[in-house]
Amino acid sequence: DTAVSQTPKYLVTQMGNDKSIKCEQNLGHDTMYWYKQDSKKFLKIMFSYNNKELIINETVPNRFSPKSPDKAHLNLHINSLELGDSAVYFCASSQDWASGGYRTQYFGPGTRLLVL
């Protein structure tokens, strides 16, 4: 019954490794997002996909690559992990991106990434 789910919930890895975080939503939404929350709790948009099309790509290192196989899934792949990538990554989804900004975004539980 979970609306927006992410796996894994925790991820501890060594510098230089490549890792992926998966996100799935069962709300029938057409837009999905990745946000990064740093150690000071500040949240910032990274990417957004609408119907599998990339619509937001913030100033994020190209080691981060989102992939949307279908509109219910948005995965985040990170190459060559660095210490500064340690953060909590949140996936979110919303309905009907084209209709305006009033639609609520629903968030997943977060993935806590720790790079050693």
Write the interaction track for other proteins spanning residues 24-53; mark x where CB under 8 A is met and - where it is not: -------x-x-x----xxxxxx--x-----
Hey, what are 85's tokens?
Answer: 């990538």
Options 13, 65, 95, 105; binder of other proteins; rule CB under 8 A: 105
- Residue 66, preceding bond cis, omega within 30 degrees? no
Count of residues in contact with other proteins, rule CB under 8 A = 26
Instruction: Tell me: does residue 84 bind other proteins (CB under 8 A).
Output: no
Q: How far apart are CA 74 and CA 80, in angstroms?
A: 20
Q: How far apart are CA 84 and CA 49, in angstroms?
A: 24
DSSP state of 99: G
Q: How far is the CB of 97 from other proteins (least distance, A)?
A: 6
Contacting positions for other proteins (CB under 8 A):
31, 33, 35, 40-45, 48, 55-56, 90, 92, 97, 100-110
